[in-house]
Structure 1
Amino acid sequence: MPHIVMSTILDAPTSAVWEVLRDFNGHDRWHPAVATSTIERAQPSDKIGCVRRFKLKDGAELREQLLALSDLEQTFSYCLLDTPIPMFNYVAHVRLLPVTDGDRTFWHWESRFTTRLEDAQSITQMVAEQIYQAGFEAIRAHLKMAA
Protein backbone atom coordinates (compact mmCIF):
# COMPACT_ATOMS: atom_id res chain seq x y z
CA MET A 1 0.00 0.00 0.00
CA PRO A 2 1.65 3.25 -1.09
CA HIS A 3 2.01 5.85 1.65
CA ILE A 4 2.94 9.36 0.58
CA VAL A 5 4.13 11.88 3.16
CA MET A 6 5.15 15.35 2.06
CA SER A 7 5.57 18.64 3.84
CA THR A 8 6.73 22.17 3.27
CA ILE A 9 7.16 25.47 5.07
CA LEU A 10 5.30 28.50 3.76
CA ASP A 11 6.26 32.09 4.51
CA ALA A 12 2.75 32.97 5.69
CA PRO A 13 0.86 32.60 8.97
CA THR A 14 -1.30 29.50 9.40
CA SER A 15 -4.44 31.64 9.45
CA ALA A 16 -3.75 32.87 5.90
CA VAL A 17 -2.96 29.37 4.59
CA TRP A 18 -5.96 27.83 6.37
CA GLU A 19 -8.28 30.46 4.90
CA VAL A 20 -7.40 29.13 1.44
CA LEU A 21 -7.11 25.39 2.17
CA ARG A 22 -10.22 24.94 4.34
CA ASP A 23 -12.47 25.68 1.36
CA PHE A 24 -12.96 22.12 0.10
CA ASN A 25 -14.31 23.59 -3.14
CA GLY A 26 -11.61 26.23 -3.62
CA HIS A 27 -8.73 24.28 -5.12
CA ASP A 28 -9.71 25.31 -8.67
CA ARG A 29 -8.61 28.84 -7.68
CA TRP A 30 -5.08 27.81 -6.75
CA HIS A 31 -4.11 24.27 -7.86
CA PRO A 32 -2.65 24.25 -11.39
CA ALA A 33 -4.11 20.83 -12.28
CA VAL A 34 -7.74 21.72 -11.44
CA ALA A 35 -9.92 23.44 -14.06
CA THR A 36 -13.34 23.54 -12.35
CA SER A 37 -14.88 22.36 -9.10
CA THR A 38 -18.38 22.16 -7.64
CA ILE A 39 -19.90 20.71 -4.50
CA GLU A 40 -22.66 18.25 -5.30
CA ARG A 41 -26.21 18.92 -4.11
CA ALA A 42 -25.28 22.56 -3.35
CA GLN A 43 -24.00 21.63 0.10
CA PRO A 44 -21.62 23.94 1.99
CA SER A 45 -17.97 23.19 1.22
CA ASP A 46 -17.19 22.71 4.92
CA LYS A 47 -19.97 20.18 5.61
CA ILE A 48 -18.55 16.81 6.59
CA GLY A 49 -19.66 14.33 3.94
CA CYS A 50 -19.94 16.85 1.12
CA VAL A 51 -18.65 15.67 -2.25
CA ARG A 52 -16.65 17.80 -4.63
CA ARG A 53 -16.69 16.98 -8.32
CA PHE A 54 -13.89 18.52 -10.28
CA LYS A 55 -12.36 18.44 -13.70
CA LEU A 56 -8.67 18.50 -14.28
CA LYS A 57 -7.17 20.61 -17.04
CA ASP A 58 -6.47 17.38 -18.96
CA GLY A 59 -10.24 16.66 -18.99
CA ALA A 60 -10.28 13.91 -16.34
CA GLU A 61 -13.10 14.09 -13.80
CA LEU A 62 -12.80 13.12 -10.13
CA ARG A 63 -14.99 13.06 -7.04
CA GLU A 64 -13.73 13.42 -3.47
CA GLN A 65 -15.56 13.42 -0.14
CA LEU A 66 -14.74 15.52 2.92
CA LEU A 67 -14.32 13.14 5.86
CA ALA A 68 -13.22 15.53 8.62
CA LEU A 69 -12.47 19.22 9.09
CA SER A 70 -11.22 20.99 12.22
CA ASP A 71 -10.72 24.73 12.36
CA LEU A 72 -9.20 24.38 15.84
CA GLU A 73 -6.54 21.92 14.67
CA GLN A 74 -6.37 23.29 11.10
CA THR A 75 -6.77 19.81 9.62
CA PHE A 76 -8.97 18.08 7.11
CA SER A 77 -9.26 14.61 5.65
CA TYR A 78 -10.84 13.45 2.42
CA CYS A 79 -11.19 10.35 0.30
CA LEU A 80 -11.32 9.72 -3.40
CA LEU A 81 -14.64 8.32 -4.62
CA ASP A 82 -14.19 8.27 -8.42
CA THR A 83 -11.13 8.64 -10.60
CA PRO A 84 -9.97 7.38 -13.99
CA ILE A 85 -6.62 6.50 -12.38
CA PRO A 86 -6.35 2.93 -11.02
CA MET A 87 -6.04 3.94 -7.37
CA PHE A 88 -8.39 2.66 -4.69
CA ASN A 89 -9.11 3.35 -1.03
CA TYR A 90 -7.32 6.72 -1.27
CA VAL A 91 -7.54 8.71 1.95
CA ALA A 92 -5.58 11.92 2.50
CA HIS A 93 -4.93 14.14 5.51
CA VAL A 94 -3.80 17.76 5.55
CA ARG A 95 -2.53 19.50 8.67
CA LEU A 96 -1.13 22.97 9.25
CA LEU A 97 1.07 23.85 12.19
CA PRO A 98 2.53 27.23 13.14
CA VAL A 99 6.25 27.80 12.79
CA THR A 100 6.77 30.55 15.34
CA ASP A 101 10.17 31.49 13.93
CA GLY A 102 8.99 34.09 11.44
CA ASP A 103 5.21 33.42 11.69
CA ARG A 104 5.34 30.73 9.02
CA THR A 105 3.32 27.56 8.35
CA PHE A 106 4.33 23.93 8.34
CA TRP A 107 2.04 22.07 5.90
CA HIS A 108 1.88 18.29 6.20
CA TRP A 109 0.02 16.35 3.47
CA GLU A 110 -0.15 12.58 3.41
CA SER A 111 -2.18 9.78 1.88
CA ARG A 112 -2.50 6.04 1.59
CA PHE A 113 -4.11 4.10 -1.22
CA THR A 114 -4.05 0.77 -2.98
CA THR A 115 -3.32 0.10 -6.62
CA ARG A 116 -2.01 -2.61 -8.88
CA LEU A 117 1.56 -3.54 -8.02
CA GLU A 118 2.78 -2.59 -11.49
CA ASP A 119 1.24 0.92 -11.13
CA ALA A 120 2.34 1.69 -7.57
CA GLN A 121 5.60 3.51 -8.37
CA SER A 122 4.26 5.66 -11.22
CA ILE A 123 1.07 6.64 -9.37
CA THR A 124 2.98 7.42 -6.18
CA GLN A 125 5.36 9.65 -8.13
CA MET A 126 2.47 11.35 -9.95
CA VAL A 127 0.59 12.14 -6.72
CA ALA A 128 3.75 13.34 -4.96
CA GLU A 129 4.90 15.60 -7.80
CA GLN A 130 1.81 16.68 -9.77
CA ILE A 131 -0.61 16.94 -6.84
CA TYR A 132 1.27 17.58 -3.60
CA GLN A 133 4.46 19.38 -4.73
CA ALA A 134 2.55 21.33 -7.38
CA GLY A 135 0.00 22.25 -4.70
CA PHE A 136 2.71 23.50 -2.35
CA GLU A 137 4.19 25.68 -5.07
CA ALA A 138 0.78 26.94 -6.19
CA ILE A 139 -0.28 27.97 -2.66
CA ARG A 140 3.05 29.73 -2.23
CA ALA A 141 2.40 31.74 -5.44
CA HIS A 142 -1.28 32.31 -4.55
CA LEU A 143 -0.39 33.75 -1.16
CA LYS A 144 2.24 36.07 -2.68
CA MET A 145 -0.33 37.42 -5.15
CA ALA A 146 -2.86 37.96 -2.34
CA ALA A 147 -0.35 39.86 -0.19
Structure 2
Amino acid sequence: MVRVVKSTIIDAPVEAVWGVLRDFNGHDSWHPVVADSKIERGYESDRIGCVRRFHLQDGSELREKLLTLSDSEMAFSYCLLDTPVPLLNYVAHVRLLPVTDGDRTFWHWECRFDTPAGREQELAQMVSENIYQGGFDAIRAHLGEQVQ
Protein backbone atom coordinates (compact mmCIF):
# COMPACT_ATOMS: atom_id res chain seq x y z
CA MET A 1 0.00 0.00 0.00
CA VAL A 2 1.24 3.47 -0.93
CA ARG A 3 0.85 6.35 1.51
CA VAL A 4 1.20 10.00 0.48
CA VAL A 5 1.30 12.71 3.14
CA LYS A 6 1.61 16.43 2.41
CA SER A 7 1.07 19.47 4.58
CA THR A 8 1.50 23.19 4.27
CA ILE A 9 0.78 26.52 5.90
CA ILE A 10 -1.67 28.83 4.12
CA ASP A 11 -1.46 32.53 4.98
CA ALA A 12 -5.20 32.87 5.46
CA PRO A 13 -7.55 32.27 8.39
CA VAL A 14 -8.67 28.68 8.81
CA GLU A 15 -12.31 29.69 8.36
CA ALA A 16 -11.54 31.14 4.92
CA VAL A 17 -9.72 28.01 3.77
CA TRP A 18 -12.44 25.74 5.19
CA GLY A 19 -15.05 27.87 3.43
CA VAL A 20 -13.50 26.87 0.10
CA LEU A 21 -12.50 23.25 0.80
CA ARG A 22 -15.75 22.32 2.56
CA ASP A 23 -17.64 22.43 -0.75
CA PHE A 24 -16.97 18.89 -2.01
CA ASN A 25 -18.16 19.98 -5.44
CA GLY A 26 -16.26 23.27 -5.60
CA HIS A 27 -12.82 22.07 -6.64
CA ASP A 28 -13.45 23.00 -10.26
CA SER A 29 -13.43 26.67 -9.19
CA TRP A 30 -9.90 26.53 -7.73
CA HIS A 31 -7.93 23.36 -8.66
CA PRO A 32 -6.16 23.80 -12.01
CA VAL A 33 -6.50 20.15 -13.14
CA VAL A 34 -10.30 20.03 -12.66
CA ALA A 35 -12.36 21.23 -15.63
CA ASP A 36 -15.89 20.67 -14.30
CA SER A 37 -17.67 18.88 -11.48
CA LYS A 38 -21.21 17.83 -10.63
CA ILE A 39 -22.76 16.01 -7.69
CA GLU A 40 -24.77 13.01 -8.85
CA ARG A 41 -28.48 12.52 -8.07
CA GLY A 42 -28.93 16.17 -7.13
CA TYR A 43 -27.57 15.64 -3.61
CA GLU A 44 -26.07 18.50 -1.62
CA SER A 45 -22.27 18.65 -1.71
CA ASP A 46 -22.01 18.25 2.06
CA ARG A 47 -24.16 15.12 2.26
CA ILE A 48 -22.15 12.11 3.43
CA GLY A 49 -22.23 9.57 0.62
CA CYS A 50 -22.65 12.10 -2.18
CA VAL A 51 -20.65 11.36 -5.32
CA ARG A 52 -18.94 13.99 -7.42
CA ARG A 53 -18.35 13.22 -11.08
CA PHE A 54 -15.75 15.45 -12.62
CA HIS A 55 -13.48 15.85 -15.62
CA LEU A 56 -9.84 16.78 -15.64
CA GLN A 57 -8.46 19.28 -18.13
CA ASP A 58 -7.31 16.33 -20.30
CA GLY A 59 -10.91 15.04 -20.52
CA SER A 60 -10.48 12.13 -18.08
CA GLU A 61 -13.53 11.41 -15.94
CA LEU A 62 -13.37 10.53 -12.24
CA ARG A 63 -15.91 9.82 -9.51
CA GLU A 64 -15.27 10.36 -5.80
CA LYS A 65 -17.47 9.69 -2.79
CA LEU A 66 -17.62 11.86 0.34
CA LEU A 67 -17.07 9.55 3.33
CA THR A 68 -16.92 11.97 6.26
CA LEU A 69 -17.32 15.70 6.82
CA SER A 70 -16.88 17.50 10.13
CA ASP A 71 -17.28 21.25 10.48
CA SER A 72 -16.14 21.13 14.11
CA GLU A 73 -12.88 19.38 13.13
CA MET A 74 -12.63 21.10 9.72
CA ALA A 75 -11.97 17.74 8.13
CA PHE A 76 -13.33 15.41 5.49
CA SER A 77 -12.45 12.15 3.81
CA TYR A 78 -13.29 10.74 0.42
CA CYS A 79 -12.56 7.76 -1.80
CA LEU A 80 -12.10 7.23 -5.50
CA LEU A 81 -14.82 5.16 -7.16
CA ASP A 82 -13.78 5.46 -10.82
CA THR A 83 -10.54 6.73 -12.28
CA PRO A 84 -8.50 6.08 -15.43
CA VAL A 85 -5.34 5.99 -13.26
CA PRO A 86 -4.72 2.76 -11.29
CA LEU A 87 -5.14 4.26 -7.80
CA LEU A 88 -6.91 1.28 -6.30
CA ASN A 89 -8.67 1.47 -2.92
CA TYR A 90 -7.75 5.16 -2.75
CA VAL A 91 -8.94 6.90 0.42
CA ALA A 92 -7.90 10.47 1.28
CA HIS A 93 -8.24 12.67 4.36
CA VAL A 94 -8.06 16.47 4.58
CA ARG A 95 -7.75 18.31 7.89
CA LEU A 96 -7.29 21.99 8.67
CA LEU A 97 -6.03 23.44 11.94
CA PRO A 98 -5.65 27.07 12.99
CA VAL A 99 -2.14 28.47 13.31
CA THR A 100 -2.64 31.23 15.84
CA ASP A 101 0.73 32.82 15.11
CA GLY A 102 -0.38 35.11 12.29
CA ASP A 103 -3.95 33.76 11.87
CA ARG A 104 -2.87 31.15 9.32
CA THR A 105 -3.99 27.63 8.40
CA PHE A 106 -2.20 24.30 8.72
CA TRP A 107 -3.46 21.97 5.96
CA HIS A 108 -2.81 18.23 6.18
CA TRP A 109 -3.73 16.06 3.16
CA GLU A 110 -2.99 12.38 2.98
CA CYS A 111 -4.08 9.25 1.18
CA ARG A 112 -3.45 5.55 0.89
CA PHE A 113 -3.90 3.43 -2.20
CA ASP A 114 -2.84 0.25 -3.94
CA THR A 115 -1.41 0.24 -7.42
CA PRO A 116 0.09 -2.28 -9.83
CA ALA A 117 3.57 -3.44 -8.84
CA GLY A 118 6.31 -1.18 -10.11
CA ARG A 119 4.15 1.97 -10.33
CA GLU A 120 4.19 2.91 -6.64
CA GLN A 121 6.78 5.68 -6.86
CA GLU A 122 5.44 7.14 -10.13
CA LEU A 123 1.85 7.36 -8.86
CA ALA A 124 2.82 8.58 -5.39
CA GLN A 125 4.79 11.39 -7.04
CA MET A 126 1.86 12.23 -9.35
CA VAL A 127 -0.59 12.46 -6.42
CA SER A 128 1.89 14.38 -4.24
CA GLU A 129 2.86 16.99 -6.82
CA ASN A 130 0.05 17.28 -9.38
CA ILE A 131 -2.89 16.87 -7.01
CA TYR A 132 -1.78 17.88 -3.53
CA GLN A 133 0.93 20.47 -4.19
CA GLY A 134 -1.10 21.77 -7.13
CA GLY A 135 -4.07 22.12 -4.78
CA PHE A 136 -2.04 23.95 -2.12
CA ASP A 137 -0.72 26.42 -4.70
CA ALA A 138 -4.17 26.88 -6.24
CA ILE A 139 -5.82 27.65 -2.89
CA ARG A 140 -3.08 30.20 -2.17
CA ALA A 141 -3.82 31.90 -5.49
CA HIS A 142 -7.60 31.55 -5.02
CA LEU A 143 -7.42 33.25 -1.62
CA GLY A 144 -5.02 35.90 -2.89
CA GLU A 145 -1.84 34.60 -1.24
CA GLN A 146 1.27 34.77 -3.33
CA VAL A 147 2.51 31.35 -4.49
CA GLN A 148 6.13 30.82 -3.54
TM-score, length of structure 2 as denominator length:
0.97
What is aligned with 2:111? 111
Question: Distance between the aligned counterparts of 2:87 and 2:54, measured in 1?
Answer: 17
Match of 2:92, SS state, is strand
Structure 1, unaligned stretches of length 5 or more? none
Question: Distance between the aligned counterparts of 1:53 and 1:121, measured in 2?
Answer: 27
Question: Distance between the aligned counterparts of 1:107 and 1:82, measured in 2?
Answer: 26
What is aligned with 2:36? 36
Question: Distance between the aligned counterparts of 2:59 and 2:117, measured in 1?
Answer: 26
C-alpha displacement at 1:124, in angstroms?
Answer: 0.5
Q: Which runs of 4+ in 1 moved over 2 A?
A: none
Question: Distance between the aligned counterparts of 1:58 and 1:123, measured in 2?
Answer: 17
- What letter matches 1:103 in structure 2? D
1:20-63 deviation per Cα after TM superposition (whole angstroms, max 9, x unaligned): 00000000000000000000001000000000000000110000
C-alpha displacement at 1:117, in angstroms?
Answer: 1.5
* Residues 1:133 and 2:133 aligned together: yes
Match of 2:36, SS state, is strand
Match of 1:144, SS state, is coil
C-alpha displacement at 1:86, in angstroms?
Answer: 1.0
What is aligned with 1:83? 83
Could you tell me the percent identity over the aligned residues? 70
- What letter matches 2:143 in structure 1? L
- What letter matches 1:83 in structure 2? T
Match of 2:17, SS state, is helix
What is aligned with 1:94? 94
Question: Distance between the aligned counterparts of 1:9 and 1:37, measured in 2?
Answer: 26
* Residues 1:15 and 2:15 aligned together: yes
Question: Distance between the aligned counterparts of 1:41 and 1:117, measured in 2?
Answer: 36
C-alpha displacement at 1:119, in angstroms?
Answer: 1.1
- What letter matches 2:139 in structure 1? I
Match of 2:107, SS state, is strand
TM-score, length of structure 1 as denominator length:
0.98
C-alpha displacement at 1:118, in angstroms?
Answer: 1.2
What is aligned with 1:50? 50
Match of 1:133, SS state, is helix
What is aligned with 1:69? 69
**Root-mean-square deviation (CA), in Å?**
0.7
1:7-30 deviation per Cα after TM superposition (whole angstroms, max 9, x unaligned): 000000000000000000000000
C-alpha displacement at 1:87, in angstroms?
Answer: 1.4
